[in-house]
Amino acid sequence: MTYPDRVPPGAEAAIEPSPAPTGRSPDQRDQPRFALLLRQAKLVGNGREYLCIVRDVSESGVKLKLFHDLPVADDYALEITTGERFPMEQVWEEGGEAGFRFVGPVDLIRFIAEAGPFPKRPVRLRVDHPAVIAFAGQDYPATIRDLSRQGAGIETDQMLAIGQKLRLSASELPGFDATVCWRRHPDYGLVFTQLMSLEQLALRTSRMQAAAPED
């Protein structure tokens, strides 16, 4: 299923009862839940980041749409697009969805408005994945440090110029034509000429995380 990046203003949330899968406690079922319409976020576990969709939220916790099996982690946190993180505990997982309980109190109005000290930005997932950049008929080694639908942050010993065109590829990433949009050698930001779907981003970064060495 394809999920859009953005929800039209004024259509982000509506209060409605949300049925709970078996195994959830009565206090969770009885609380009113805010049905969030395909809100992107990051599920963080053991220092690794995974794309998810917030389906609904209450004062006690959230229901997330997952694109792959839930990663095993000692602890979890939900990071929204302003960079704020909310520690959570897993409660259930079923049919591509999972429920989590907030560890501490959460301001629902602030959560739904995605209000925070930093501006909202597209979800960018931190990874550590070997890659190759190609330009002028030559290939050069690089490491993908983060990945979004629109671009990537890479590290490479090769000197690159802002505005330079190149092709980025990796074992878990087909070739993407890209342009260098910022540099702070050896770190560079790339913007893609193509756009990945949410599902493609989620699955590719999940496989990159699985292939990465343990911290």
Position 76 pLDDT exceeds 80: yes
pLDDT the model gives residue 35: 66
Q: Chain-wide mean pLDDT for the chain?
A: 85
pLDDT, tens only, 77-101: 999 998 999 999 999 999 999 999 9
Percent of the chain with pLDDT over 90: 65
Averaged pLDDT, 43-64 = 93
CATH of domain 13-113: 2.40.10.220
Residue 22 makes CB contacts below 8 A (sequence gap 6+) with none
Measure the CA–CA gap between 72 and 94, rounded to whole angstroms.
Answer: 15
Please name the fold of domain 125-211. Answer: Thrombin, subunit H (2.40.10)
**Helix, strand, coil in percent for the chain, rounding step 5:** 10, 45, 40
DSSP bridge partners of 161:
none
Q: How many residues does the chain have?
A: 215
Contact 101, 61 (CB under 8 A): yes
Q: Is 94 in contact with 21 (CB distance < 8 Å)? A: yes
> Where do we find the tokens 């980025």?
168
Q: How far is CA 21 from the centre of its chain?
A: 24
Residue 212 is predicted with a pLDDT of 76
Mean pLDDT of 146-152: 97
> Which one of 58-72, 109-123, 149-163 scores highest in mean pLDDT?
149-163
DSSP E strands: which ranges in 136-206? 138-147, 151-155, 165-170, 173-184, 187-192
The better pLDDT of the pair 9, 197 is held by 197
pLDDT exceeds cutoff 60 at 29 = no
Backbone angles phi, psi at 207, to 5 degrees: -70, -35
- Domain limits, CATH 2.40.10.220, in the chain: 13-113, 125-211
The pLDDT of residue 38 is 73
Give the model's pLDDT for residue 177: 98
Alpha carbon distance 129, 72 (integer Å): 20
Task: State the pLDDT at residue 118.
Answer: 73
This prediction has a pTM of 0.80
Cβ contacts of residue 152 below 8 Å, gap of 6+? Answer: 144, 145, 146, 168, 176, 178, 189, 190, 192
9, pLDDT greater than 50 = no
